[in-house]
């Protein structure tokens, strides 16, 4: 069986690329197709596969400016010749599913998210742009939405990475989907569990506006508690400038250091809305609880009162009240073993078994 995996772009190793690695474990003979490929930033596991790029990679400064070429990506996907492949798995977050498969092939789309910057997060992204960019974005997003919906008809089976994403697939594409949670290598984190717990709360992620690190910083400015912020991004300098001394920015850290920070924190602070959110599961795998805004993927992963707190008010004040509630009622009651048990439900083995089951159901 010839297998092709279509991944939106390969410029960093993040959550989507961990899913891609798991798919490559399942299909070691698979070829990978992507818009842009930065060889220096990709794992050795992915490099062992044949990697083909669309014409986007031949455009000027494509590795850095690939997002600027978004309007050309539908055409780039449709120019890929995939006639010889039996199984096509598209990894969708940016444009990936819009390839043209042969009538005999099976096209399965693993959906991390329908393109959020043209759908539910469109207004968030648009308000951060200048006047010219906003005008262009209105035209481009309108055309991309039409193509995104029409290209969904080329998919034989959708797989959503969470219940939250399944609802969005139904809303925008009017298609049903199975839910298969992304793979978490829980053993990489659980072995750090058991040490002493520090005096700090933890925020981890890309410092981007939609992840709402500003909410965490605003809340801790009013609390006499320590917050450690791990990650970098466009918002780094602005957030540092408004932070108080009890908020410490670590930037990017080594993987081992990150796991130690996770295992030693009082709790993870998670005020953003993510399609799934691997970080809360990783923290639970390290035996620590999560305090998260109750929307998005955390509704599938965090068990209120047992592995953390889900709070309904998205404001900084709402987060403050959630932290106070946690310290008063749950901080001493959380059992690290319960957190690890919950994290194990999202293991790599579970992911691979579910994907294989769905592909088999369609005759492959």
pLDDT in tens, 79-132: 999 999 999 999 999 899 999 999 999 999 999 999 988 998 888 778 878 888
**Same domain, yes or no: 133 and 195:** no
Express each pLDDT in 117-153 by its tens digit. 899 888 877 887 888 888 888 889 999 999 999 999 9
Alpha helices, DSSP H, located in the chain: 15-26, 44-47, 62-65, 73-78, 122-126, 131-151, 163-173, 187-190, 213-221, 236-242, 255-264, 278-285, 298-301, 316-329, 336-343, 348-361
CATH at residue 172: 3.40.50.2000
Does residue 353 sit in the same domain as residue 340?
no
155 and 253 part of one domain: no
Are 166 and 196 in the same domain? Answer: no
Number of domains the chain is built from: 2
Q: Are residues 153 and 254 in the same domain?
A: no
* Residue 164 and residue 199 in one domain: no
Torsion of CA 55, 61, 63, 65, to 10 degrees: -100
Residues 8 and 140 in one domain: yes
Same domain? For 166 and 277 the reply is no
Residues 66 and 40 in one domain: yes
- 178 and 221 belong to one structural domain: no
Mean pLDDT (whole number) for 204-226: 93
Instruction: Report yes or no: 359 and 87 within 8 Å, Cβ to Cβ.
Output: yes
Residues 135 and 247 in one domain: no
Same domain membership, residue 133 and residue 88: yes
DSSP helix/strand/coil, 30: coil
pTM of the model: 0.90
Provide the domain limits for residue 70: 3-183+347-361
Question: And the tokens for 143?
Answer: 């055309």
């Amino acid at each position: 069986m010839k297998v092709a995996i279509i991944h939106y772009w390969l410029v960093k190793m993040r959550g989507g690329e961990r899913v891609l690695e798991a798919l490559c474990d399942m299909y070691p003979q698979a070829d990978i197709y992507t818009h842009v490929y930065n060889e220096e930033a990709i794992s050795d596991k992915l490099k062992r596969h044949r990697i083909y790029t669309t014409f986007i990679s031949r455009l000027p400064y494509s590795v850095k400016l690939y997002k600027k070429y978004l309007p050309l990506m539908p055409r780039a996907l449709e120019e890929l010749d995939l006639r010889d492949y039996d199984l096509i798995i598209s990894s969708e977050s940016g444009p990936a599913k819009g390839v043209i498969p042969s009538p005999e092939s099976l096209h399965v789309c693993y959906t991390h998210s329908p393109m959020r910057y043209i759908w539910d997060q469109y207004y968030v992204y648009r308000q951060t742009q200048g006047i010219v960019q906003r005008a262009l974005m209105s035209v481009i997003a309108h055309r991309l939405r039409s193509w995104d919906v029409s290209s969904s008809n080329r998919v034989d089976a959708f797989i959503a990475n969470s219940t939250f994403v399944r609802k969005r697939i139904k809303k925008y594409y009017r298609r049903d989907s199975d839910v298969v949670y992304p793979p978490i290598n829980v053993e990489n984190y659980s072995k750090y569990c058991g040490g002493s717990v520090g005096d700090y709360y933890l925020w981890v992620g890309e410092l981007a506006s939609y992840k709402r690190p500003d909410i965490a910083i605003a809340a801790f400015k009013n609390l006499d508690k320590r917050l450690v912020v791990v990650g970098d991004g466009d918002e780094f300098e602005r957030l540092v400038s408004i932070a108080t001394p009890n908020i410490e920015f670590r930037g990017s850290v080594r993987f081992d250091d990150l796991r130690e920070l996770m295992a030693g924190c009082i709790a993870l602070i998670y005020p953003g809305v993510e399609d799934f959110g691997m970080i809360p599961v990783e923290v639970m795998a390290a035996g620590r609880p999560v305090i998260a805004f109750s929307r998005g993927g955390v509704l599938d992963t965090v068990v209120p009162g047992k592995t953390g707190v889900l709070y309904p008010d998205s404001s900084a004040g709402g987060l403050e009240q959630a932290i106070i509630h946690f310290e008063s009622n749950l901080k001493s009651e959380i059992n690290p073993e319960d957190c690890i048990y919950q994290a194990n439900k999202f293991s790599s083995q579970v992911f691979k078994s579910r994907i294989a089951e769905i592909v088999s159901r369609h005759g492959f």
